[in-house]
Structure 1
Amino acid sequence: MSQSPIRPVLAVSTAVFRNGQVLLARRGAAPLRGLWSLPGGRLEPGETLAEGAAREVMEEVGVACRVLGVAGALDIIRRDGAGEVSTHFVVISHAGLWLDGEPSTGPEAAEVGWFDPRQLPADATDGLAGIVMAAHALVAGS
């Protein structure tokens, strides 16, 4: 019996800024467990990109934010030992402003913190720095 082909999964994330710092979460679950990243996850049917981005921040770290716009997009493609695609996420990343709540950990966020956007942790997901800088520019222009 053949396996169904892997299809890209649409996901969202948000670079939330407060007092010039960006909120990051160290991933507590696969994929990319242990790496610092933006709070985010899969887009749900019937929600807009912005709605999903705000929902994921609230669900993952307990922070309410106002989504300003799209900062960029990244492909996260993982391959198995034979070189076959095992997962493919298309992440639409947003810029946002903190509204309420102190970030907290949970099943998806093993650790949380506010960081200077120019001094991000070295153990971060691929493309994080570029997305954070694009989001920072959107926030500065708002």
Structure 2
Amino acid sequence: MASPPPPPHPQLAVSAAIFRDGRILLVRRAKSPAKGLYSLPGGRVEFGETLHTALRREVDEETALQIEIAGLAGWREVVPGAGGGGHYLIMSFAARWSSGEPVLNDEHDDFRWLAPETLGDLKVTDGLLDIIEAARRVLRT
């Protein structure tokens, strides 16, 4: 069964750069868009949700972790390309791990806690390294 076409307007989404003991949590997408790439947990904001409520919900649904949100680290816009896809405005937040161990839902097939400077040749989503660095700055202040 083919997936439905994306809505004809931008969608608001959130993501969390979650740090624990100096390492960041990256999850690998098991589905399109960005299948096979490591990124941050997150997803769409539902109507009537605040950004922080949506972020906590998405992180809980995707990883079962509880987090402490430190602040906005940046944003990224994803526009439809040659392969189609939706138009997203992703608000990325710096966060600290509070409790739990990662339990992934079906949107992801792997996770790693990594020191940001050791990402090396890991295949990641566009703009991820900039968001991670911005999140580190937020957490230092």
Does residue 58 of structure 1 match 2:57?
A: no
- What does 1:114-133 correspond to in 2, within 5 Å? 114-120=113-119, 121-133=121-133
Does residue 11 of structure 1 match 2:13?
A: yes
> Per-residue deviation at 1:116?
0.7
Q: Any stretches of 5+ residues in structure 2 without a counterpart?
A: none
Q: Normalization by structure 1: what TM-score?
A: 0.88
Contact residue 6 and residue 86 of structure 2 kept, 8 A: no
3-state SS of paired residue (1:118): helix
3-state SS of paired residue (1:104): coil
Q: Which residue of 2 aligns with 1:72?
A: 74
Does residue 110 of structure 1 match 2:109?
A: yes
> Per-residue deviation at 1:76?
1.2
Q: Which has the higher strand share?
A: 1
> Per-residue deviation at 1:41?
0.3
Q: Which residue of 1 aligns with 2:136?
A: 136
> Per-residue deviation at 1:78?
2.6
Q: Which residue of 2 aligns with 1:20?
A: 22
Does residue 36 of structure 1 match 2:66?
A: no
Does residue 99 of structure 1 match 2:98?
A: yes
> Per-residue deviation at 1:71?
0.3
> Per-residue deviation at 1:14?
0.3
Partners of 1:28 and 1:13 lie apart in 2 by: 16
Q: Any stretches of 5+ residues in structure 1 without a counterpart?
A: none
Q: Normalization by structure 2: what TM-score?
A: 0.89
Contact residue 117 and residue 136 of structure 1 kept, 8 A: no
> Per-residue deviation at 1:29?
1.5
3-state SS of paired residue (1:78): coil
> Per-residue deviation at 1:131?
0.2
> Per-residue deviation at 1:134?
0.5
Amino acid at match of 1:36: Y
Partners of 1:4 and 1:15 lie apart in 2 by: 26
How many residue pairs end up in the alignment? 136
Structure 1 4/107 Cα, relative in aligned 2: closer, same or farther at 3 Å?
A: closer
After TM superposition, the runs of 4+ consecutive aligned structure 1 residues lying more than 3 A away are none
